Amino acid sequence: MGLRFTLQNEDRVLLDLPLSVSEWKPRVKELVMKELGDSEADIDTLCEICDFFSNKRRVQMLNHLVRDCNNSASFTDLLKVAVNPKYISDLVSKSSRRELVVKGSKGYSLSPLGLGSFLLLSLATRRLLRETNSINDDDKSFEGQ
């Protein structure tokens, strides 16, 4: 059994998926194909979210927001990372349609969708990169070819 992607809501498993296609049983493959088909309806939203996280400065501000400010930062807090007020404006305006970042009375914070997407991108993808690099480093089967 290899790497798996599991998404839970408390005790309820929302998605449990091996990250190797060869490990997909027919029921899992059917679910993946259905979800991928259904995701076509949300393709614009998915692209908007990917576009939002494609900017290095935005990701740095979000990292600071979560790591150093407990998901509640003032304009001044974000300015420490953004350096330029325009970057903070961009952070909010680029996320406004999906409300990934919200501005409230206590400053800026990530919405549940924003936080989940950010953690999936930053923590889960980074872990996946490390794990697959480790697996590839251990696999010397290609060296004899």
Percent of the chain with pLDDT over 70: 91
Arithmetic mean of pLDDT, 86-106: 86
Domain ranges of the chain: 1-52, 55-116
The CATH number that domain 55-116 falls under is 1.10.10.10
Angle at the Cα of 43 (from 123 to 94), degrees rounded to 5?
A: 65
The 10 Å CB-count burial string (b at 16+, else e) for 25-61 is eeeeeeeeeeeeeeeeeeeeeeebbeebbeeebbeeb
Average pLDDT over residues 93-107: 86
Residue predicted with more confidence, 144 or 104: 104
The confidence score (pLDDT) of residue 119 equals: 94
- pLDDT tens for each residue of 45-76: 889 999 999 999 999 999 999 999 999 999 99
With tokens 């740095």, the residue in question is 60
